[in-house]
Structure 1
Amino acid sequence: MDIEKLISIKPKRDEVKETPQIREWLDRFREEREFDGIKKTTLRNDITRLRVFLSFVFLEIEKTPEITNNGDFVKFFNYLEKERKLQRNTLDKYFKLLKVFYRLMRLKNFSQFEEESKERKRYSKFEIKHYDSINAELINQVLQKIIKSSSRTKLRDAVHIRFLWDTGARLSESLNITYGDCDFNEGLFKLRDTKGSEERMVTCSGDTLEALKHYCRFNVLQGPEDTIFQTNKGGRIVKVGWIGQVFKSTIDELKEEGKIPKNKRIVVHSLRHGRAVDLLDQGIPIEIVKEYLGHKSIETTLFYAHSKERQQKMIKDIKKML
């Protein structure tokens, strides 16, 4: 422990100002995060940090979040370190917060800084989170529990989860699919709002396609620009956190019933994880899996190729041969 640093009187940091513009962005972020159900203390800390960022953007460099660029983010983190005297672990928290903020605001101008930071190992170790994958048997349990629930959105939620499993799409990608992106005859879907900003095509099974077409009949709006996963009222796009909340509560119920080990870390992203493992298990070349899932780097796909689920299956297969 650095006692000298600990007992030293630290310089007072400049008070962060809040303008009506800043307040508007804070309110938008707060609404999204409250819907995600995060803890009040976490939200309060995030709002405090976000206020610092927005104050820097609006008052220091006189820009708005939509037009900030890579150089602006470099200036901001230099400002945090040199002028506000923040420690490395706090810079990590700001970095993670801005990733969430720009994703929730559906802005892509943080992605270049994020990728560059990943390559240069600036703020985090960037380890891929070790979610447990999911298989068809477990998915069926989840789907059955949702369909048998009393939720008014149970059909949409069940179809959405089945769609995510088949396509391996990211949740945000699926929420932005419009009728114009769909070929309901061939079961092909164009993903345009992707993490890598490159369009790609995905497909689904015949059963999923029929379920999707059945669900879409009840949508309020069905024009080419309307999203296929809509709210019950007015055809608005479903919020990002909703399906994650439904999925988590269903998994928690199955854990309480003893149908899933409580130490399993299963989240919505497990559907994408499971799809990657399943495709690789079926012998699909890793380069094709990479393109299908929209991975920028082959290293990401290799993570799934060497996942513990595949290792366990390999051990079982070897044991049968012995």
Structure 2
Amino acid sequence: MSEVLSEAAHIGQALLLLAAQTGLRVSEIIDLDRDSVMLGHGAHVRCVGKGRKERSTPLTKVAQQALRGWLNEPRKRGATALFPNTHGGKLSADGVQALLNKYVAKAREHCVPLRSKRVSPHVLRHSAAMELLQAGVDCSVIALWLGHEAMETTLTYLHAHLELKESALAKLKPYERAKAERFRPNDRLLEFLNAL
């Protein structure tokens, strides 16, 4: 029984870390095979995104460690899918959501603000984008990272990022209050106005 729990913990940790760190779409995560993950120097994951476009996303050391632990688990029925279901096939989107729900329920026990929030795999994608933005990564790089077709999609994160707006505001010079003086028109202006 402890082996099953260990396996469940490994798949959950690996899948959630991968999703949160890479910002992959749930469809991209589901389609990953074991050979999509390259560990070691230049560690990354290769996926096929929208429009059948292939891209590679780098992996942090923490994500590498979690994936290494998961890949060391015995394969289910010779599965080639990175995250297989109980029959060895590809995990479904509902399966990913169920796994996420399990860990969110545990997190809600300790994190009160999380109790009122709905967490989906897409929320993890948004979190990855916001983390990159907060780290100062350029929007064009974030667009490539997430596999966005149009830059406008990525720019929505800029609108959502209040801290970024506040730091831009802090860079502005404060307006100096001018002395409130009464306006005194010159003679030419008075002549013009009188002629009207």
Q: TM-score, normalised by structure 2?
A: 0.72
Amino acid at match of 1:154: A
| Partner residue, 1:298 | 151
Amino acid at match of 1:242: G
**Aligned residues of 2:7 and 2:73 also touching (Cα < 8 A):** no
Is the partner of 1:190 in helix, strand or coil? strand
Residue deviations 1:25-58 (CA, integer Å, cap 9, x gap): xxxxxxxxxxxxxxxxxxxxxxxxxxxxxxxxxx
Structure 1, unpaired ranges of 5+:
1-149
Change in Cα spacing, 1:270 to 1:298, as seen in structure 2 (3 Å) is: same
Return the offset for 1:195.
Answer: 2.2
1:268 to partner: Cα distance = 1.9
Task: Tell me which amino acid in the other structure corresponds to 1:174.
Answer: I
Question: Contact (CA 8 Å) 1:220, 1:232: kept in 2 or not?
Answer: no
| Corresponding residue for residue 311 of structure 1 | 162
Letter of the 2:151 counterpart: I
Kept after mapping to 2: 8 A contact 1:167/1:203: yes
Change (3 A) 1:292 1:207: same
TM-score, L = length of structure 1: 0.46
Aligned partner of residue 94 in structure 2, secondary structure:
helix
CA displacement at 1:258 relative to structure 2: 5.2
Deviation of 1:175 after TM superposition, in Å, equals 1.6
State the distance in 2 between where 1:312 and 1:266 align: 22
- Cα distance, 1:243 vs. partner? 2.0
Letter in 2 for 1:172: S
Find out whether 1:190 has 2:46 as its counterpart: yes
Greater RCO, CA 8 A, separation 6+:
2
Q: 1:265 to 1:200 in 2, by over 3 A?
A: same
Of 263, 276, 287, which aligns to 2:140?
287
Aligned residues: 167
- C-alpha separation in 1, matches of 2:127 and 2:166: 18
**1:67-121 Cα shifts (integer Å, max 9, x gaps):** xxxxxxxxxxxxxxxxxxxxxxxxxxxxxxxxxxxxxxxxxxxxxxxxxxxxxxx
Partner of 2:59: 204
Aligned identity (percent) is 21
Taking a change above 3 Å as real, the CA distance of residues 290 and 247 of structure 1, as seen in their structure-2 partners, is same
- Residue 191 of structure 1 aligns to a residue whose secondary structure is strand
In 2, Cα distance between equivalents of 1:275 and 1:258: 20
Alignment gaps of 5+ in structure 2: 175-196
**Residue 239 and residue 151 in structure 1: after superposition, are their counterparts in 2 closer, same or farther (change >3 A)?**
farther
User: Residues 234-289 of structure 1, C-alpha deviation per residue, up to 9 Å, x if partnerless?
Assistant: x3222221121222343345446552254434322111101111111222111111
The one-letter amino acid of 1:216's match is: L
Given that residues 25 and 121 in structure 2 are in contact (C-alpha distance below 8 angstroms), is that contact kept between their aligned partners in structure 1? no
SS of residue matched to 1:306: helix
Partner of 2:94: 241
Q: Distance in 1 between matches of 2:138 and 2:25?
A: 21
Residues 104 and 119, structure 2, Cα contact 8 Å, conserved in 1: yes
